[in-house]
Each structure stands twice: as structure tokens, then as C-alpha cells.
Structure 1
């Protein structure tokens, strides 16, 4: 048994009595244990409440083959997989009651080999390990995901029950009228997220018809991954209550809507915001500038993690983002990566970075893990060779070393395989397995045509 599993079991043991009381008080009878696989799908096993203690001690058997499955559940050709089953352990610190689903609780799970050693393809454990590496050099990452989704009426159910389905498919971008039409729906989401312990900052209609967004508080990268998964779970349940079906796919149909998964991030050291407490460009500290430079340098490889699906590039083509040479910007939401600097109103705590090209076909754990790896590499490089004064970030919008943006999964995957930073952080087994699956999946979806491809994955993520 490795330290990671030992620590998880010890933590669970210290929390289990309080969890028992809360679950009994709330009449919880079943618990869904969830993880995210290499195709970006949230998988789960459910247990009766009475089995919780046994599962906390021994885990659940689960097939590692899921990590070789493409989004359509067909195994990718020649994909690596363990020969034997692995173990799924819940982390009950993440356990949340879901008000909209009485009798149920949700909890994030981590996976281990049968002998208790680390499973190379467990996204949550990878995120925890790289979060630990960041901590060793004195840094803390705080990130949040903006969850964007699109809904359509479940007309057959609404018609059968004689209900009028809210006309959520009409109205203006960010329109108050649209918010009025679905006020009860949005309120249920807010209340259920609050009850689940998730801090909500905003909820509002998006640009496209039937589209909505919710942004949450920032968390460490493991908890942020848990929250992103939980938020989608809550939205699906609330949508069903209002005769709606939610899609988180980057390309819901070939003519839209298109859903993003913007990530906001801050790196701190000794309580200081590295993006707002300095005297460099726009309030960056030398460490903050080094991190931003490295993120821009590694952007194409990061896109393979954060926008990894065929639908991601259909969205890019429609938005013409891939044709833009401007990948970085200052307070520019249309930029691939941007900096929102400190100002007189918010002070240094209000500064943050933002990557706008990611979407929800990605694993949020891998997104956070990859950003932590890049930040760690940036600080180690800065401390070993000192600050690079040859290319001060005078204008992020015209950053001279901006790479051309990937136009396909294949191009992004090649950048990922060529990134020594991410290869060192994730390991060769993970990179090769992830890359081969995503390329095979993209080739399959491209082969069936864009119309069928978007329909095939519309409700998978």
C-alpha cells in the first residue's frame, strides 16, 4: 500500500462517524462513487448506505478497461490496459448530499492497483500528486471552472403530463427575459449547489439559445475537479425536474450551441497573489510572470488536455479561434489565455489568469494537474537560471513567441507528446494511453461525419 492510499484511508476513518450521522439524518440510502476516465466521461458505481464502512476499508473492484474506451464506449485500438481489475475508494471528505435526488449522496472516488499502489491513469490521484509537487516549492494553486451547458425540452414527458415547458430556447444573450422564463430552474440549481457545499458566484443565460453558465468559488485543484463533476451532476438532476435535458458537449450541434469550460486560476506564495502583488507588467511578480510565460509556451500541449475532443475543434472552427494569431491578451475574454490584472477596486486579490479555450470534454482533474505541472516547472526554471529580462511582457496581446493554435486533435496531441514538462509530470504510460485514445476517438467521429458525430456525444459528458 502506498502513502496516498494509506493517507486516504486514515482520513476516511477520522471522518466516517460524522458522515454516518449526516447520512442517517438525511435518510440517504445509496451513494454514487464517481470518477472521470480518459474520454472525459464521469463513470460511477453505487453502493447501499449500509456497505459504506466495508467499501471505505476494502474499496470496490472496477475494470481498468474503461480508460481505453472512446466516448462511444468502443475500446480504442491497441490501447494500454491493466490485465486485472483495480480498486475504487471513495474520499468521503468530498461527499455531498444532492437535495434534488432524495435518498442519494455523491462522492468522488480515487483508483488504485489491486496491491494498493498508485494506478497510473487515475486523474484524481495525478492531480493530488502534482498539487503536492507544487506545495513542495511553496506554491498554492486556486482554480475554478465555469460550467456552461445547453438545454432542450423533453417534449414527450412534458406533453404526457400536460405541462407547459419553459421556452428556454428563445430570447437574447444574457437576457433577463430568459432568466425569468427559467427562474425556478436556476433557483433550484443554486439551492442544490449551496446545500452540497458549493459556493456559487454567478448563474446566467449564455450567448446561445437554451444556454446557461454557472461559476463557483475557487478551490485547490483536487477539490476544484470534484466540484466541477458535482456541479454537472446537480444540473442534470435539476434539468430533469423541469422537463429539460442538459448537454455539456463542446458542440451540441453543428450550428451550435457551443459550450466552453473556462478555467480561472491564481497561484499564491505565502498568501501573496503572484498575479497581482508585483511590480512587473500589470502587477505580476517575477514568479507570476514566469508562470504566465510557461503557460503560453505550453499552451498547445495544454489544449490537448483541456480541449481534447473532436467536438472541441468543431467549436474552434466555428469561432474562428484557430485562425487567430493572438493567443494571449489582457482582460480579453476572446483570447485563448488572458490576464485580468489587479486594480484599485479589487486590489491584488482580484487578479487572476483565465484560459478560455478549454471545454467539458476534458477531465477537470487533468486540467488542474497540467497547470500545476507547468507552474512548478516555471518556478524551478526561474530559481535555477534567474529571471529572463530579454522578453518582458510589455503587451500580452502581442506576445512575440505565441505559437500557432492547433486545428485538430492530432496537432494538439503531437504538442502534448512533445512537451517534456507534461511528459515528466504525467509519465509516458499515461501520455501514450491518453493520446492514442483521443486520436482514435477523433478519427472515428470524423469518419461518421459532423452531424452524426455531434449527435453521438451530445449527452455523454
Structure 2
């Protein structure tokens, strides 16, 4: 379980003593340092590390880090809002001991996600992990809802020996081909072993569509733990790859053309241990609340793309007829729809039924993406929204009149378009709060300005090794 309470100066009750015992155990296992990890507004993983012996001090007093990183761009240029982007001030990073894990792919290291609070002990309004935890708590309090979530991880494997900056696929063979699995058999086995050692239950690991592309899926957890897992899985994928002379890119696109890397988000609503996406009286077994939740997400997808597809490179991936989900439609097992209803196989509906949000990639901060998707869904529940008619096949085939009749529209074609949708959306901005909402806007516009005038290949190259 994820720690529910915010950190406090001095540590949560009992945590300093627990941290001291953990540090002793870790040291006995030759763990020398602990990675304290969070994700910034641009979707870049940031870290500080501490010696294992400093774990008790970290949970008691936190570890300092500047708030300026909330407005860092992916290439480390700083933009500003009315309250963020200054060199002044400090925050404290507090590790979540419930999620601390020894890194099998990085011998000598452990890893833990952090929450960020002010020096005075208040919530930092720019902390995305705190934001997601608050959204989940609000859903439980106001609606009696809980969630299970998982984020698919796709990545491109390149040769580390390739010329600087270039991507040379590390494997040959066709999409989903046995050739790829055989050629990288040792890497795959070591990755599975590392995940198992870290308590990550892997559902699938397989070669994907694009050159050098693979995907891993892990089991669903509560949303905060699911976001933590997304960060941890990427840390593990990259670390194991390095030990095999391989280089990993989670960027939405490693080239200007072709299929990119996604980070599809799976989510289901639960109440009292019952999955609301199965056994109900609405379409495909959804309950009325599950349908309203899905309808709320569908209605806000254009604005959500500013959070779920936050990089200029995201819009090289978000192209029609590539299973990226670039039209506002939904359907059962319809992989071209932005919202795919997964009912699961016979006998598994009650456990497996969920909704998949497809216009998501791994440039997205997973805490922001999950929090905003849940906020959109909860607004649908409050309003009692209903889903429109479902779509089948590829919505790119619809003419204007048919698309309008079905409520199908193209998602934003660029990051500035997505920002305009986001700025006009009161639900998402209210859920994030003014500090975090303004940071999202400033960072996205900064990223767009940095690539203004560049072509697709240049944009892909600019972000190829950033994520």
C-alpha cells in the first residue's frame, strides 16, 4: 500500500525508527545509496541520492531541493510563472518508505519516490505526487470510489555504440517477431529477473511494432503506486539495458516518421471491492457510474492532451491510423479510439474490465496524467454524463457530417493547440490548482517555443534521449 498521509517535519509517526532499522538492513545487504525520485512538470525524472545511513535523517528532516525544477523544460531551460521559476527558496524531499525497493538492476542502490513539502511543513502546491494522492482521497471521500491503474511502458532499444545522438535499432526482425525476442533473449531474461526481485509483477514483455521497440506491462495498483511503478519500471529497463550495451529511449518518437512509444493508461473504478466496469446494466457491463466516469474523460480529452502528451515530440506520435487514439471516440476493443473499453475474457470480467486511455506517452508525468484523468472522470460522475454512440474501425474514414453526428473530433495536432484547450478547461485547472496549472501552461509553451520552426526529424532528434 502507498503511504496515504502527507510527510511532516520530524517524520510521520514511527517512521524515523523504521527508517533506522531499514538502513541497517540495507547496509547489511551492501546497499550503499538510495535514489530519491520524482518527476517534474516536463515529465523528466529528477533525483537526489543519499548514503543509506542518511535514510533516518531524510524521513525526519527531508532532503533539500529547489522549487525551480517545477518550471524546468526537458532540456533544462527555466521558464517562470508568477510564483515559480525563481532561484529563491527550498523544498524538502521526503521518501515514501512503503515504496522503497532495492534496485536489482543497479547493485548497491535502493530507490524510493518522494513527496515534496515546504520548509515550514506545508504541502508544496507544485508536487505532482501529492496532487494525485489528494485527487484519490477526494474521490474516496466524495464518491466512495477507489481505483486500480496501470501504465503500459513502450521503449526503443538502440545500440550504445551508435554515433552520438543517433538511434540505431539494437534488434532486427518484424513487429512482434520471434527474431527480436531471440536476439535480445539475455536482456529480456535479465529484465524479468530484475522486475521479480523488485516485486514488480509483470504481465507481458514483448517486441512491439516500431524498429527496436519493446513493451512491458505490470499489474494494476492504486493510482499513486501505479505512477510510482511507472517510474521504477523505467529506471529498471534503462539500468538493465546499460549492462547489456544498449541504450533506451522512452521518447514519444525517436524519428520523424513511423509509430512512436506510448504509455497507455489503464484505469478502473471500484467501490467496496467491486469493479464498477463489470456486472452493471449499461453497455458492456458498465454501471451507470463507470459510464459517467468514462464519459467525463472522453469529454475532456482535448484538454487532457496538454498533460498526457506534453512534448512537441508527442505530436509526431499522435497521427491517425497508427493506433495512437487521436479522435474523441470510444469503443469496445477499438484500438483506434482514444478511449478503449477492455472487458476482459470470459470468467475474468469482474477482475479485468477497465478503460484504456490511448493518447498518453511517457513524456507525461504519470502523477499528473493519472490525477487529471481521474478528475475529468469524477466531473463526469458528478454531472451524470452518458457516453455517445460508440465507434468501430478507424475514425479517420469518417466524413465531416458523420464525425459530427458521432461527436468525433480530432485531438490537438500540436502542443500549442493542446495548451489552448487546457487553458479553457476549468475542471482540470481547478483540480490542479493555480500554481500547478500555471506551471503546466508555462512549461508546455516553453517547449513549443524551443522547437518553433523545426521539422519532424529535428524535433525527434531534440527529444530522442531526453526521456
Q: Normalization by structure 1: what TM-score?
A: 0.90
CA distance in structure 1 between the aligned counterparts of 2:108 and 2:387, rounded to whole angstroms: 56
Query: What is the match of residue 390 of structure 2?
Result: 395
**Kept after mapping to 2: 8 A contact 1:33/1:108:** yes
1:346-365 aligned at under 5 Å gives the runs 346-365=348-367
Structure 1 unaligned blocks of 5 or more: 158-165, 383-387
CA distance in structure 2 between the aligned counterparts of 1:283 and 1:156, rounded to whole angstroms: 50
Q: Alpha carbon RMSD of aligned pairs, Å? A: 2.4
1:125 matched to 2:130? The reply is yes
Alignment match of 1:278 (pick from 280, 287, 290): 280
1:457 matched to 2:459? The reply is no
Alignment match of 1:144 (pick from 150, 156, 159): 150
Cα drift, residue 456 of structure 1:
2.2
Report the secondary structure of 1:310's partner residue.
Answer: coil
Query: What is the match of residue 378 of structure 1?
Result: 380
CA distance in structure 1 between the aligned counterparts of 2:57 and 2:363, rounded to whole angstroms: 33
Alignment match of 2:71 (pick from 68, 72, 80): 68
Query: What is the match of residue 209 of structure 2?
Result: 207
Cα drift, residue 214 of structure 1:
0.1
Alignment match of 2:99 (pick from 74, 94, 104): 94
**Kept after mapping to 1: 8 A contact 2:154/2:250:** yes
CA deviations over 1:302-324 (Å, ceiling 9, x no partner): 11111111001111247567996
1:18-37 aligned at under 5 Å gives the runs 18-37=21-40
| Structure whose residues are more often helix by fraction | 1
Q: 1:423 to 1:325 in 2, by over 3 A?
A: closer
Q: Normalization by structure 2: what TM-score?
A: 0.89
Query: What is the match of residue 440 of structure 1?
Result: 446
**Kept after mapping to 2: 8 A contact 1:167/1:181:** no
Query: What is the match of residue 111 of structure 2?
Result: 106
CA distance in structure 2 between the aligned counterparts of 1:426 and 1:41, rounded to whole angstroms: 19
Structure 2 unaligned blocks of 5 or more: 393-402
CA deviations over 1:381-415 (Å, ceiling 9, x no partner): 33xxxxx6xx6655354883344311111121122
In the alignment of these two chains, the number of paired residues is 445
CA distance in structure 2 between the aligned counterparts of 1:420 and 1:396, rounded to whole angstroms: 28
CA distance in structure 1 between the aligned counterparts of 2:229 and 2:378, rounded to whole angstroms: 23
**Kept after mapping to 2: 8 A contact 1:30/1:104:** yes
Please say which of residues 442-451 and 315-324 is displaced more in the overlay: 315-324
Q: 1:240 to 1:401 in 2, by over 3 A?
A: same
Cα drift, residue 79 of structure 1:
6.6
Cα drift, residue 11 of structure 1:
6.2
Cα drift, residue 291 of structure 1:
0.5
Report the secondary structure of 2:31's partner residue.
Answer: coil
**Kept after mapping to 1: 8 A contact 2:208/2:214:** yes
Report the secondary structure of 2:217's partner residue.
Answer: strand
CA distance in structure 2 between the aligned counterparts of 1:126 and 1:201, rounded to whole angstroms: 28
CA deviations over 1:221-249 (Å, ceiling 9, x no partner): 11111100010100111111111000000
Please say which of residues 399-408 and 308-317 is displaced more in the overlay: 399-408
